[in-house]
């Protein structure tokens, strides 16, 4: 079937252009530093080129082989990679070398990530720099700074509408300051993570302005950077199968330009999707990525990956080409800046989430299923769904890891698989409705003070916003609130991968309802859980009579403990069956199967429970409970208080 191009013309699939079948030797001929034996030869680069170019080449052939300009783009990106490496600061090359020598670096039990907004948490890049001693005290090894690039005042989607990837938002600092911050963080063992928002740009990005004006600059036709249609014919056709992402902002996936044409905008009307079917777009974004890599970014959070490729008659989410694109970005980094790691943000069906995770694509990924089911378990006081997910969907391929988190700057979507729920006799649709009611405090027994996000009465879809303290009951003064918050983080800290702390959660930061008074935020309830630096809560963190002090002391203890417990590193997880519905239970094996393990038990129920002795028959009689540092005689079974957590160091018999 012919493909439909954005302009609505049927384009027959051309045969692979033979020009893209250029081989590595032809490239070596054109780029002297890659030519072994030549004066300019760079051995490290040459070795990596030999290893990764064939992959990049194959991906380009698959993505762009039918286009005459495919070859030019491939040669251009290789050229970019070479220049990036040549210009890469020596300190970053050292990071490349050490990470390449130890590719499991992010699997260590010493890893801990934190995330915050530069403006809200530190006021500026300089303000964030001043927090470094605190980040060290906490034990962070990764700092994810929320989008900090130039973006239009008001129409910025919290920084996710970027108008220049090479400029820091002037209100918070400069690119030089960012590079300096990355350097200072690196010196204390913290890797800088930033977003690569590459599915879309702001409508005020230079590319977008050129696109609307129909400009061709230096031979680049910017109209083809986005998906612009003369009328509703194709938009209507696409919308038959796409889903609405921000229905509060605009229905469907398109918005109308002042001149009457239609442009693809999956998220806000001012965020225009890039057209990755155009190899020029790949090249341009590769340039931005490599530029940032050389500023000292160690991890890229690949924003909204699922939406990067469109094809008529499909949901236009997670299409095979998206994977090829990510693999191509990865291959490019492997040549140019091999220490830099990609983390995928795919908040989609669990089967699709894992499709992004591999050493060749995104070695790191958010774990939205564990996050959502942690909240599900707390609401239902039933750990069945979470245990099922841990048993069935947790283990990942070698060389990859989850980012385990409790909440992010975004809403909580109930992304579990309906099939999994059905096996437990749960109707997914009804259950999501229950959870939404629960977390906005509309169910009896609810302790939560969440706010609905993108409530769509037409589809029944809705998501939840709120800080951890607001959703666990601390804000409502529920007596179980502090323990629930600690329990939720204890899971993120014990299931492996990299645990991620939303900075402020460790001092029980509450919701900030004042967003409704700011017109540019009022319509987006996610601002309720993106509050400003909670100075008071931080000041109270040493005071155990306050929730801030209680959460802080418990979390810092767990963090320190994790760093001393190698079994909690890596990602392998085995189930453990207690026979009790309210108990989350799993084992974290050490490096080999017969070594001591950590057995995690967490009671999401409001009542204490007793795990009977026979469940522990496979272990030596005495276990060591790590959190309280006490020995436990397993012949008595294990008592778990309401919302109680134990990390038992057990030895298999």
* 159 contacts 409 by C-beta, under 8 angstroms: no
Decide: is 626 part of the binding site for ligand GLC (CB under 6 A). no
Radius of gyration, alpha carbons of the chain: 25
Instruction: Give the interface segment with ligand GLC, choosing from 157-165, 256-264, 502-510, 627-635 (CB under 6 A).
Output: 157-165
* 269 contacts 301 by C-beta, under 8 angstroms: no
The single residue among 96, 157, 193, 288 that binds ligand GLC, judged by CB under 6 A, is 157
Nearest distance from C-beta of residue 146 to ligand GLC, angstroms: 9
Q: Which is nearer to ligand GLC, 411 or 483 (CB)?
A: 411
User: With 0-12 CB in 10 A as exposed, 13-18 as middle and 19+ as buried, what is 246?
Assistant: buried
Could you tell me which residues are beta bridge partners of residue 196?
Answer: 302
Residue 503 gets the label, from left (phi > 0), alpha (psi -120 to 50) or beta, of beta
**Residues 6 or more apart in contact with residue 503 via CB below 8 angstroms:** 114, 115, 116, 121
Nearest distance from C-beta of residue 304 to ligand GLC, angstroms: 4
CA distances from residue 504 to 137, 467, 548, 553 in whole angstroms, order as listed: 14, 9, 9, 13
The single residue among 64, 267, 447, 619 that binds ligand GLC, judged by CB under 6 A, is 267
Structure tokens at 602: 């967490």
3-class secondary structure, 332 = helix
Q: Which is nearer to ligand GLC, 520 or 594 (CB)?
A: 520
Decide: is 280 part of the binding site for ligand GLC (CB under 6 A). no
3-class secondary structure, 518 = coil
Structure tokens at 193: 């993570």
Binding mask 390-419 for ligand GLC (x = CB under 6 A): -------------------xx---------
- Selected catalytic residue, list 193, 224, 273, 303: 303
Q: Which is nearer to ligand GLC, 407 or 588 (CB)?
A: 407
Decide: is 500 part of the binding site for ligand GLC (CB under 6 A). no
Structure tokens at 367: 């774990």
Q: Which is nearer to ligand GLC, 158 or 441 (CB)?
A: 158
Residue length of the chain: 653
Binding mask 331-350 for ligand GLC (x = CB under 6 A): --------------x-----
> Which residue has its beta carbon closest to ligand GLC?
160
> What is the total count of residues that contact ligand GLC (CB under 6 A)?
10
Instruction: Give the interface segment with ligand GLC, choosing from 153-161, 361-369, 448-456, 471-479 (CB under 6 A).
Output: 153-161
Near ligand GLC in 309-328, by CB under 6 A: none
Q: Which is nearer to ligand GLC, 150 or 197 (CB)?
A: 197
CA 369 vs. chain centroid, Å, equals 12
Nearest distance from C-beta of residue 409 to ligand GLC, angstroms: 6
Nearest distance from C-beta of residue 533 to ligand GLC, angstroms: 20
**Bridge-based pairing state of the strands 262-264 and 228-229:** antiparallel
3-class secondary structure, 344 = strand
Q: Say how far apart CA 8 and CA 380 lie, in whole Å.
A: 50
Q: Say how far apart CA 407 and CA 471 lie, in whole Å.
A: 10
Decide: is 640 part of the binding site for ligand GLC (CB under 6 A). no
The single residue among 244, 273, 303, 461 that binds ligand GLC, judged by CB under 6 A, is 303
Nearest distance from C-beta of residue 226 to ligand GLC, angstroms: 15
Binding mask 167-206 for ligand GLC (x = CB under 6 A): ------------------------------x---------
Nearest distance from C-beta of residue 524 to ligand GLC, angstroms: 8
Nearest distance from C-beta of residue 411 to ligand GLC, angstroms: 9
Q: Which is nearer to ligand GLC, 274 or 486 (CB)?
A: 274
CA distances from residue 307 to 276, 315, 346, 448 in whole angstroms, order as listed: 10, 9, 9, 32
Nearest distance from C-beta of residue 511 to ligand GLC, angstroms: 17
Identify whether 303 is a catalytic site residue: yes
Give the position of tokens 């809200």: 120
Decide: is 648 part of the binding site for ligand GLC (CB under 6 A). no
Q: Which of 269, 283, 341, 276 is nearest to 305 (CA)?
A: 276
Could you tell me which residues are beta bridge partners of residue 229?
Answer: 262
**Residues 6 or more apart in contact with residue 294 via CB below 8 angstroms:** 84, 87, 88, 89, 92, 337
Decide: is 304 part of the binding site for ligand GLC (CB under 6 A). yes
Helices (DSSP H) in 188-313: which residue ranges? 206-213, 233-239, 279-293
**Bridge-based pairing state of the strands 498-502 and 113-116:** parallel
- Selected catalytic residue, list 193, 249, 345, 376: 345
CA distances from residue 399 to 103, 105, 316 in whole angstroms, order as listed: 7, 10, 29
Nearest distance from C-beta of residue 231 to ligand GLC, angstroms: 27
Q: Which is nearer to ligand GLC, 82 or 304 (CB)?
A: 304
| Residues binding ligand GLC (CB under 6 A) | 157-158, 160, 197, 267, 303-304, 345, 409-410
**Which positions are catalytic?**
303, 345
């Amino acid at each position: 079937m012919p493909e439909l191009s954005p302009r609505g013309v049927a384009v027959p699939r051309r045969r692979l252009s033979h020009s893209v079948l250029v081989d590595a030797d032809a490239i070596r001929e054109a780029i002297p530093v890659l030519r072994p034996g030549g004066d300019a030869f760079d051995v490290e680069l040459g070795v990596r080129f030999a290893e990764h170019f064939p992959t990049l080449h194959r991906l380009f052939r698959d993505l762009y082989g039918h286009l005459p300009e495919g070859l030019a783009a491939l040669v251009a990106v290789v050229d970019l990679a070479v220049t990036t490496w040549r210009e890469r600061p020596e300190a970053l090359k050292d990071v490349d070398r050490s990470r390449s020598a130890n590719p499991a670096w992010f699997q260590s039990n010493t890893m801990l990530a934190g995330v915050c907004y530069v403006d809200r948490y530190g006021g500026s890049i300089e303000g964030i720099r001043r927090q470094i001693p605190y980040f060290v005290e906490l034990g962070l090894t990764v700092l994810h700074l929320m989008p900090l690039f130039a973006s239009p005042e008001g129409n910025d989607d919290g920084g996710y509408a970027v108008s220049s990837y090479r400029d820091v938002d002037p209100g918070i600092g400069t690119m030089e300051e960012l590079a300096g911050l990355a350097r200072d963080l690196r010196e204390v063992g913290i890797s800088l993570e930033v977003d690569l928002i590459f599915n879309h740009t702001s409508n005020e990005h230079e590319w977008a302005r050129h696109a609307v004006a129909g400009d061709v600059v230096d031979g680049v036709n910017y109209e083809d950077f986005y998906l612009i249609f003369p009328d509703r014919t194709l938009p209507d056709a696409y919308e038959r199968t796409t889903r609405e992402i921000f229905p509060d902002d605009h229905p469907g996936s398109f918005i109308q330009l002042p001149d009457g044409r239609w442009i693809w905008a999956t998220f806000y009307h001012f965020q225009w999707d890039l057209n990755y079917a155009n190899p020029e777009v790949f090249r341009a974004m590769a340039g931005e990525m490599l530029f940032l890599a050389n500023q000292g970014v160690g991890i890229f959070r690949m924003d909204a990956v699922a939406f990067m490729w469109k094809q008529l008659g499909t949901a236009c989410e997670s299409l095979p080409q998206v994977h090829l694109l990510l693999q191509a970005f990865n291959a490019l980094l492997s040549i140019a800046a091999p220490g830099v790691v990609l983390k995928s943000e795919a908040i989609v069906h669990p089967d699709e989430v894992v499709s992004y995770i591999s050493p060749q694509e995104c070695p790191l990924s958010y774990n939205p299923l564990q996050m959502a089911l942690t909240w599900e378990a707390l609401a239902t006081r039933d750990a069945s769904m979470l245990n099922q997910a841990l048993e069935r969907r947790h283990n990942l391929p070698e060389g990859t890891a989850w980012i385990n988190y409790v909440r992010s700057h975004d809403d909580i979507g109930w992304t579990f698989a309906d099939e999994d729920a059905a096996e437990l006799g749960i109707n997914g649709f009804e259950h999501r409705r229950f959870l939404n009611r629960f977390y906005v405090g509309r169910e009896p027994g609810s302790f939560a003070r969440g706010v609905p996000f993108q409530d769509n009465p037409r589809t029944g879809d809705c998501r939840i916003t709120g800080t951890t303290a607001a959703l666990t009951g601390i804000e409502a003064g529920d007596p179980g609130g502090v323990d629930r918050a600690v329990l939720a983080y204890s899971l993120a800290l014990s299931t492996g991968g990299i645990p991620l702390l939303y900075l402020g959660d460790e001092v029980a930061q509450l919701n900030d309802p004042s967003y409704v008074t700011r017109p540019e935020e009022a319509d987006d309830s996610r601002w309720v859980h993106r509050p400003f630096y909670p100075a008071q809560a931080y000041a109270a963190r040493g005071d155990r009579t306050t929730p801030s002090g209680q959460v802080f002391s418990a979390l810092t203890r767990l963090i320190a403990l994790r760093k001393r417990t190698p079994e909690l590193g890596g990602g392998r997880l085995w189930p453990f069956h207690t026979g009790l519905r309210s108990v989350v239970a799993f084992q974290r094996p050490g490096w080999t199967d017969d070594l001591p393990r950590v057995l995690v038990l967490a009671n999401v129920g409001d009542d204490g429970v007793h795990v009977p002795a026979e469940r522990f028959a496979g272990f030596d009689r005495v276990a060591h409970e790590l959190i309280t540092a006490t020995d436990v005689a397993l012949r008595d079974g294990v008592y778990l208080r309401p919302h109680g957590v134990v990390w038992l160091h057990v030895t298999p018999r």
